[in-house]
Amino acid sequence: MEYANVLFEIRDGVGILTFNRPKALNALNVETLEELNDVLDRVREDDAVRVLILTGSGEKAFVAGADISEFPRMNALQAHRFAERGQEIFSKLEELPKPVIACVNGFALGGGCELAMSCDFIYASSLARFGQPEINLGLIPGFGGTQRLPRLIGRAKAKELCMTGEMIDAQQAMELGLAARVFPPEQLMEETLKVARLLASRSPVALRALKHAIDRGWDLDLRNGCSLEAESFGLCFSSQDMREGVAAFLEKRKPNFQGSLTR
């Protein structure tokens, strides 16, 4: 598939997807969402991509939301379908069996904030702004924001942000647990790449098991969550990576993880 709205490159095992509609502050139109979907399918299948970074082009925005200019021609049924399609793609992103880092270089609003929340963690530029401003349009979040935001920052704070539609800065986002770290704008991509490369050197099998245990365990009670963890822990023992990691430790050398499940 040719991409008109996103850029995708692979560097040292790290896939970098850049939303590339800077004139519309990288807003997500129908086409852009489908291109994201296509990249996710590629990343899922391609062993050469061990970590994915999402970012936005231009100085101003990560993603400023769904493309509002498409709203006037949608009826209720089409809006419902669009919201469901976005949610489906964001769930695919969330469930990608590889680490995904949102590199938030500017506005992450509405669908852009929902997109960032569907990644494993968020690194933000000190100039980034987060918010769910749909209320200003007479709307509510539609790509999972009413569900992911309360789970991340608590119900009352999420309601406050969604009801007022106000933006918060990167520092506030970090204090709330929305952003994991904040960097000066000129260091953001370099620092994100540094961590992405580190993750790319880890065992893909262990990273997959870790993500599965945390994400699938989230909605379970503690007992069932721990049971899921034990199963995932056991599964790691069937990997060549685990043999390699333990052997490297005992032999006092750096491990070389290949991501193979069989011995």
User: Is there binding between residue 83 and ligand CO8 (CB under 6 A)?
Assistant: yes
User: Is there binding between residue 110 and ligand CO8 (CB under 6 A)?
Assistant: yes
**CB of 142 or CB of 204, closer to ligand CO8:** 142
How many other C-beta atoms lie within 10 A of the C-beta of residue 221?
A: 9
Please state whether beta strands 129-131 and 168-169 pair in parallel, antiparallel, or not at all (unpaired).
Answer: antiparallel
Confirm if 84 and 35 have CB atoms less than 8 A apart: no
Binder of ligand CO8 out of 143, 193, 200, 257 (CB under 6 A): 143
Binder of ligand CO8 out of 82, 90, 123, 130 (CB under 6 A): 82
Cα–Cα distance, 49 to 225 (Å, whole number): 29
| 114 noted as active-site residue | yes
Residue 143 Cβ vs ligand CO8, minimum distance, rounded to whole Å: 4
The single-letter code of the amino acid at 54 is L
31, 59, 94, 114: the active-site residue: 114
User: Is there binding between residue 153 and ligand CO8 (CB under 6 A)?
Assistant: no
Stretch that binds ligand CO8, among 43-51, 138-146, 192-200, 229-237 (CB under 6 A): 138-146
32-51: which residues touch ligand CO8 (CB under 6 A)?
Answer: none
Q: Which residues bind ligand CO8 (CB under 6 A)?
A: 24-25, 27, 64-69, 79, 82-83, 86, 107, 109-111, 133-134, 141-143
Q: Which residues are catalytic?
A: 114, 134
